[in-house]
Amino acid sequence: MAALFVFGQRRRKQRTFKDRISSLDHLSDVEVVDRYRLSRIAINYLEDNLRNDLSPPTNRSQSVSSMTKVLVGLRVLSKGNFLSEVADLHGISKQTASRVLHEFVDAVNRNIDNIRFPRTQQELAEAKLGFYKRCKIANIVGAVDGTLVPIIAPKDSGEAYICRKGFHAINVMATCSHDRRFIDIVAKWPGSQHDSSVMNTSSLKEHMESERPGMLLADSGYPLTTSLLTPLANPVTSC
């Protein structure tokens, strides 16, 4: 038995580690945006804010750096690549990539609070001025629309997630500022839900109707209300 144990020990392969990507130095600015959908400055800012959560104390000599975790998370979320491809690209295993993705998303949710609707008088005034300069429409504080985000078919109530385009999705309602920043997100409704229904059940609608901060620009998928400005149906220019 001892001889078999020694023989088995001798045949055990030495563990090898892939070369990991832990910086953006090898990429041009254009390549960085193409791969991760954020600029080099934005990625460095994100890594700096998440570093404490993504780099816990460890004695492991081959721990995954906080920058690698940020790059893995951004690559999956921005490009929709398979975990195996993202893992190969960044020099980690598929199992590690799966764990890193969850760590990254949790860290973002805990630390990044940059989706905020304008609340103060100064913020609302700046928003209205920005929209007026852009589209010459007064009293606008945001632009809202829905987008269908594809998902894997759920095991339960899968038919509810089939959108009008025929695939399983989540109907995400997003509101943006004049400078194209998200100021409100609702991402919890199945793809079969109509845009107007998502709005009707949102806290955004309640806030717009109770606080009267201004109006939102919307397309014809939404009703014309005191807080939603939608296009005029079949407009005709008088001669």
Give the model confidence (pLDDT) of 85-112 as tens digits.
999 989 899 999 999 999 999 999 999 8
Contacts 24+ apart (CB under 8 A), 46-50: 46/70, 46/74, 46/108, 46/112, 49/111, 49/112, 50/104, 50/107, 50/108, 50/111, 50/112
pLDDT at 5: 52
pLDDT, tens only, 40-83 = 999 999 999 999 999 867 666 578 999 999 999 999 998 887 89
pLDDT, tens only, 7-43 = 555 555 555 545 566 678 889 999 999 999 999 999 9
| 239 contacts: CB under 8 Å, gap ≥ 6 | none
What does the pLDDT average to over 148-158? 89
Looking at per-residue pLDDT, the higher value among 105 and 155 belongs to: 105
Neighbour-count burial of 142, counting CB atoms closer than 10 A to its CB (0-12 exposed, 13-18 middle, 19+ buried)? buried
In which residue are the tokens 């492991």 written? 60
What does the pLDDT average to over 202-230? 96
pLDDT at 235: 80
pLDDT at 139: 97
CA dihedral of residues 160, 166, 168, 172 (deg, nearest 10): -80
Above 90 in pLDDT, residue 237? no
pLDDT at 9: 56
Backbone angles phi, psi at 189, to 5 degrees: -105, 145
CA 78 – CA 188 distance, rounded (Å): 19
pLDDT at 194: 95
pLDDT at 114: 86
pLDDT at 226: 94
DSSP state of 168: B
